[in-house]
Amino acid sequence: MRDAEAMTHGPQVTENPPGDELLTVGAASSLLGVSVRTLHHWDHIGLVSPSGRSSAGYRLYSADDVARIHRVLVYRELGFSLTEVGEILDDPSVNESAHLEKQRALLAERIDHLQQMVCAVDHMMEAHAMNRKLTPQEQSEIFGQDWNPEYQREAEERWGDTDQWEQSQQRAAGMSTEDWQRIKADGDQLNRDLAQAARDGIEPGSDQANQLAERHRESIAQFYDCSHAMQVCLATMYTQDPRFTEHYETLEPGLADWLYRAVAENARAHGVDPDTATWE
């Protein structure tokens, strides 16, 4: 009857000190924007265990528990695994003030990096709006040491003779600044949703996973017509090319493999055998 737990908001019986406001798992989920399933998982692995229990044995979260969940969310946002987060939070040599100082420093560093990336994307959008390709030197100056001019050259060598490459070049040339802003925002949200689905243990082949796989395919279809078989080929590359794998792994450990399986099962549901899928 865990569903009943999420709906319980009446008087609770607990051993927690008077005056400490307690939240049911449903209330904590709504307050923090974390799924009930995630909170149950964190309790199961000992990352965040609620301090109280009702007379019926349902989880009750104290203010300290909520504060710990906030710290978990911040460290997760910064890219730490659940295991690393647990080790950091349970380090007896680190007190609450030290945690806040460390998180602030890490967040400031990330904000600085993201601001640099925003400037880079603005520059790219300006170039596309003017229907002008950036030179390798310009790309290197914008993206810094992480940018490798060989990526674009490699992509053109691999796909340059396909109809999809020609289609993507034509569509990109006609995109406005607003189009690129929308594409970037939608892509960022899709990546967040994919990572959350993998994190929550959403099973590939489920309705939710299939919907995400379709959103992924539609994001590609903005540039060229992408069949389910083509999408399988791309998802296979995500697991075989270390550069793509690293990109998805930074979003969520195991995400590259999860995305491949989600794409494969969705393709199967549309009559495509992922084991024999070809670029067509």
Query: Where do the domains of the chain lie, and which CATH numbers do they carry?
Result: 2-89 (1.10.1660.10), 148-269 (1.10.490.50)
Could you tell me whether strands 59-61 and 52-53 are parallel, antiparallel, or unpaired per DSSP bridges?
A: antiparallel
Question: Quick one: pLDDT band at residue 222, thresholds 50, 70, 90?
Answer: confident
Token pair recorded at residue 19 = 């005056």
Lowest-pLDDT range, 64-78, 100-114, 138-152, 205-219? 138-152
Question: pLDDT tens for residues 10-56?
Answer: 333 334 444 457 899 999 999 888 899 999 999 999 999 999 888 88
Residues β-bridged to residue 53: 59
Residues β-bridged to residue 117: none
From CA 9, how far away is CA 29, in angstroms rounded? 13
pTM of the prediction? 0.48
Instruction: Return all residues near 142 (Cβ < 8 A) that are at least 6 apart.
Output: 119, 120, 123, 124, 134
From CA 207, how far away is CA 62, in angstroms rounded? 35
